[in-house]
Chains A and B, each alone.
Chain A
Amino acid sequence: MRLRIAEITVLSPGIRKFTLEPLAGLLPAAGAGAHLVFDIPGATRVHKNAYSLIGGPQARTQYEIIVRRVEPSRGGSAWLHEHARIGDILEAKTPQNLFPLAHLAKKHLLLSAGIGITPFLAFARVMRTPFEWHHCSRAEDSAAFAALLPPGPQVTLHTSRNTLNLAAVLGTQPLGTHLYVCGPELFNETVQTMARALGWPESKIHTESFASAAGGAPFIVHLARSGQRLEVAADQTLLEAIEAAGIAAPYLCRGGACGACELPLLQGTPEHRDHVLSPEQRAANKSLMVCVSRARTPDLVLDF
């Protein structure tokens, strides 16, 4: 999917908002909590960065994202801050949602810090049940965040002068409250540890985890029968790499569930990511499901 940068808004020296539009037609609908993965050009390689969409779910004409410049920059955010111009075209994947709202919640409790504000901006537009939102910010960004936060007594902006009393907030929530946490790792861990200590069940604690997204470190695969050597890129599956080389491999579900793509392994240690092989079969390392599994060793050799 190709998106054009329609607008760039400077919210603070380190934070910008980008408005993106489709080249033609409508954008795929995306729910609150969804994110978009972009290909962002870099000096040596293309960066894949994920950003939460902050627009409401009706927004099929525009997507909006907010980007903080990461120091030291890992590439993507620096390019967006320094080089991106209105009219530039970016390649993106269909949005996916790993951070949805719980539909059965009686109340939503949102705790965010820094750029973790972004998914909750989308939440705020669609929540129908009561909510309470605490956002923590560094002093230099607080004006920018204050302008983004919706008005109302249920939203509080915390800075060093007005710190968040976690135990008080987490200890007094009515039954049926769902907790959503989004911020830097330390913030997320602190909140979750406190919540568990106060008796919150796992089913009521939500964090955004990109861990289940596909991809991983690149590796090399050797196909013993044809003598080919293929590189499997970070954002490519082993099956896709084989197909990209023009070789037909068996598959059905492409999601590690059916077992159709199992190929015998001659050498190397796979990182099994399927749901088919038993623990014993995994440990034997005699085969792998090439639609999802990757490598723990730099190379794999397949009997294929």
Chain B
Amino acid sequence: MNKSRPIYAPFQFDPSGARHLLVTDQPDPPADLNTNVQTLTARTHTADAILAFLPPHLATQTTGLRLYAIGSEAFVWDVNAIALAAGMGAGEVHLTRAGPLIRRVYCTHCQTMADDVATTITQCPGCGATLEVRDHFSRHHRAFMGVQVDAEAPGEIPAPEGFRS
């Protein structure tokens, strides 16, 4: 068991909030959504448009807001970073992952990010190292840790596997 890999709860409305905003990179919001929740979905906005909309919007908001993000792991943590920068904290932001099991990976050696990584062994697009995707996630970098897998003995590379969580 690893305690840095995020565990996501299914979407749930948080009644302690006074106002609610839900953003998702999926086409549809959850079914039977409370009508008080303002929503932005992939039907009307690209993920980039949502991420661009949030900072100026949050700057005008008051305490009492709840922000929900549903989507790929990269998307929900990008939203989380924007929320933190706007001053939101524990209990104000709720993240739910949706979509395929792919990871964003941070190369420890050259600090390049690789998006949409699907297997435990991957090539770093920056320095070309063969990386093992460690099960260690940084909310700050919004990515999993990638470390060269064959540093001890070059060429000793285990078979890649898909992610199970």
Contact = CB atoms under 8 A, between A and B. Distances in A.
B91 A174 contact: no
Contacts of A170: 63
B44 interface: no
Nearest to B67: A175
A202 B91 contact: yes
Given A171-B64, A174-B62, A198-B64, A203 B90 contact: yes
A175 B16 contact: no
A106 interface: yes
Nearest to B60: A174
Interface string A167-203: 0001111111100000000000000000010111111
Which of B87, B91, B92: most chain A Cβ within 10 A?
Answer: B87
Contacts of A174: 59, 61-63, 87
A177 B64 CA distance: 10
Contact of B66 (A106, A176, A199): A199
Nearest to B20: A199
A147 interface: no
A15 to B, nearest CB: 33
A175 B86 contact: yes
A196 B17 CA distance: 9
Contacts, number: 58
Interface residues of A, number: 19
Nearest to B83: A175
B63 A175 contact: yes
B56 to A, nearest CB: 12
Contacts of B58: 175
A200 B62 CA distance: 10
A177 B65 CA distance: 12
Contacts of A177: 63, 87
A204 interface: yes
A200 B90 contact: no
Contacts of A37: none
A161 B66 CA distance: 36
B88 interface: yes
Interface in B75-92: 86-92
Interface in A25-83: none
Interface in A82-108: 104-106
Contacts of A202: 90-91
Interface string A144-184: 00000000000000000000000000111111110000000
A104 B86 CA distance: 10
A272 to B, nearest CB: 26
Nearest to B64: A199
Given A104-B87, A201-B16, 7 more contacts: A174-B62, A174-B63, A175-B59, A176-B88, A199-B16, A199-B66, A203-B89
